[in-house]
Amino acid sequence: MSDFLHIQTAHCENGVTVGLLNKQGLQFMNEPLAFGLGSGLFYIHIPFLKINGGPAISFRSMPGSIFKRTCKTLNVNVQRKKFRSELAAEKFLDDRLDAGDIVGCQVGVYNLPYFPVAYRFHFNAHNVIVYGREGDNYLISDPVMETTTILTREELSKVRFAQGALAPKGHIYYPKTTPIVTDEMIRKGIIKGIKHSVRSMLYIPSRITGVRGIKHTAKKISKWRKQLGERKAGLFLGQIVRMQEEIGTGGGGFRFMYAAFLEQASERLANDSLMGISDQFTKIGDLWRDSALQMSGIYKGRITAQSDFNKSAEILFEIAELEKKAFKDLSQLNL
């Protein structure tokens, strides 16, 4: 507990991965690397499903997948557990902490007292590290926050047993063994991570995922004004911008984070072409930011003509083409 170091990251799951693995002695781990090894970059526009009444869009892979894949690739053995009973969950946590372990916990943010109220939605796939306890006060390292914080036993149980979609059910996880990770393993992991991302962005046979998913959203956007009216269409665009830019994404819908990963990959693999592709992703991230600006003009009510919606769609089409090229380039590298 005493040697735990709080590390702030953009995204909670990356942060928990970095924190837990650092504690296991894997000091090289950092957020972009965890994100790349875990193939976090993605795009999906889930049809029919609505989140807070808006479109369900995600710029990253399934919750839990980054930690899972990063650990798998480094041969880290992970123990995880879910619970029916709150008491059993509390006891298990206490036992682990008293044994000197630090653990990751999945929590809901609605009842998280240290979060600003404006951010407290019923979102259940948030992750924190519990790194110790003083009686009934639990020491919490929430990776998206600048500092550590404390939750009481009741507060922690409440968020660990939040209800709704992706209910955590007391989900607790931690690395069981301290592995020896060689540079060779990291290099192999990087290549594996890149290949996985190429596959999920280019080759999933579906209209709603990856590069084609971005085009799918673009097509929808040009129809929204007519289908939903200006107010609601604006809200929908606002939802896209929030999924893309809100705390946790590192800006530009995780694209800057991925560029940072490729920069590291280029160094570790001594491959200059990767640096070139990293630059492509930086440009793509910048373009996502431009797209957010354009969309904000609409939901601020400044520009609301059909041509403005079309402009938004065009930017997304352009992004889709650029991402397609970047991933094609990645797939053609001889790694």
Partner 1 sequence: MKKEDLPQDKGALENFTREVCYVKGKDGKYIAGLSTGWETKTVALDKQWEEINRRVEKAKKNCLAGKTSSIRYYFELQLMDMSVLAGYTGFFQWQIKRHMSPSVFKKLSKKKLQKYADAFNISVNELINFNPS
Shorter beta-carbon distance to partner 1: residue 134 or 146: 146
One of 100, 116, 135, 205 touching partner 1 (CB under 8 A): 116
Q: Does 230 bind partner 1 (CB under 8 A)?
A: no
* Helix H or strand E encompassing 316: helix 306-332
Verify binding: residue 5, partner 1, rule CB under 8 A.
no
Residues numbered 29-58 forming contacts with partner 1, rule: CB under 8 A: 31-32, 52-54
Nearer to partner 1, 7 or 335 (CB): 7
Q: Which of 82, 91, 226, 300 binds partner 1 (CB under 8 A)?
A: 300
Contact between 70 and 34 under an 8 Å Cβ cutoff? The reply is yes
SS3 assignment, position 188: helix
Among 293, 305, 306, 332, binds partner 1 (CB under 8 A): 293
| H-state helical runs in 269-305 | 272-299
Query: For residue 5, what is the DSSP state?
Result: -
Q: Which residues have a Cβ under 8 Å from the Cβ of 320 and sit 6 or more positions away?
A: 211, 212, 214, 215, 218
Backbone angles phi, psi at 57, to 5 degrees: -125, 140
Measured from the CB atom, is 213 or 253 closer to partner 1? 253
Is position 114 an interface residue for partner 1 (rule: CB under 8 A)? yes
- The minimum distance between CB 298 and partner 1, in angstroms, equals 11
For residue 134, give the 3-state DSSP assignment: strand
According to DSSP, the β-strands at 41-51 and 54-60 are antiparallel
Number of residues engaging partner 1 in binding (CB under 8 A): 53
165 near partner 1, rule: CB under 8 A:
yes
Tokens representing 235? 């809200």
Q: By CB under 8 A, name the one of 2, 147, 307, 334 that touches partner 1.
A: 147
The verdict on 331 binding partner 1 (CB under 8 A) reads: no
Residues 160-170, buried b or exposed e (16+ Cβ, 10 A)?
bbbeeebbbbb
Q: In the range 252-291, which residues lie near partner 1 by CB under 8 A?
A: 252, 256-257, 259-260, 263, 282, 285-286, 289
Binding pattern for the stretch 176-215 against partner 1, x by CB under 8 A and - elsewhere: ----------------------------------------
Q: From 145-153, 180-188, 209-217, 317-325, give the range in contact with partner 1 by CB under 8 A.
A: 145-153
Give one word for 7, left, alpha or beta, with left for phi > 0 and alpha for psi -120 to 50: beta
Question: What distances in angstroms separate CA 222 from CA 32, 304, 307, 317, one per listed residue?
Answer: 34, 12, 9, 11
Q: How far is 69 from 127, CA to CA, in rounded Å?
A: 16
Name the residues that contact partner 1, by CB under 8 A: 8-10, 31-32, 52-54, 110, 114-116, 118-122, 144-147, 163-165, 167, 234-235, 237-239, 241-242, 245-248, 250-252, 256-257, 259-260, 263, 282, 285-286, 289, 292-293, 296, 299-300
